[in-house]
Structure 1
Amino acid sequence: MRLIPTALLAAAAAGALALTVAAPAAAAQGLVLIHSGSGQVEVIQNPEPGVCHQGLMEESTIANHTRGMILLFPDANCRLQVFIVLPPSGIITGRYASFQAMT
């Protein structure tokens, strides 16, 4: 049986750990457009993943023009477990009070 020096094992473990550390989340490139039935328009440019963005409290059409998916929530705080996943280029109409971009 061949023994591997401790320093070599430590260096290999450190390298493996460095590969598993997540890079900082970048903004979802693009726009999320929210159009209400009453004519109000919200434009969220490059939404940051994991941040709860406010939608409109009324029936709205939401268009995802980012490169990633967004989660739509019925509450204003992105906390209720009931949500809809809207893929890139997706459009949906409904009453969604908040959304979160995914990476």
Structure 2
Amino acid sequence: MRRVSALSALAVAGSLVLACAGPASAAPGFVRLYSSDGQVATVVDPEPFVCHRGFGDDTAVVNRTRDTILVYPDFDCRARIFDPVEPDENRYGNIGSFQALS
């Protein structure tokens, strides 16, 4: 009897988690990176909180999404130092990686 109750409670809890979790939506638009040696990378509709690698030192980033992105000096978005770049803003510097916020 207890096993049935526990399984029922687990099923209900799982259903609630799935019902509350909304789909992740991309930040519409694009982010473009320019390196000092002429490389160009474009990320179209970046997914929220997915880390995208930059070029490092002497990089320009152009945020043409509707959302803020965070740029990091490291290549894996783990540094505690980050710089927010608002929609339609540009940054130049050490851009090792970036991620969209929403």
Q: TM range, normalised to the smaller chain?
A: 0.7 to 0.9
The Cα shift of 1:25 comes to: 1.5
Is structure 2 residue 34 aligned with structure 1 residue 35?
yes
Are 2:100 and 1:97 aligned?
no
What TM-score do the two structures reach when normalised by structure 2?
0.78
SS at 2:95 equivalent: coil
**Aligned residue number for residue 75 of structure 2:** 76
Mapped to 2, the partners of 1:33 and 1:62 lie a distance apart of 6
Work out the CA distance in 1 between the residues paired with 2:71 and 2:93. Answer: 10
What is the RMSD computed on CA atoms of the aligned residues? Answer: 1.7
Equivalents in 2 of 1:37, 1:54: separation in Å? 15
| Distance in 2 of aligned mates of 1:25 and 1:60 | 28
Deviations 1:45-90 (A, max 9, x none): 1110011111112311100000100000111110011000000001
Structure 1: distance between partners of 2:66 and 2:34: 20
- How many angstroms apart in 2 are the aligned matches of 1:87 and 1:39? 24
Structure 1 gaps, min length 5:
1-16
- Report runs of 4+ in structure 1 exceeding 4 Å deviation: none
1:60 maps to a residue whose letter is T
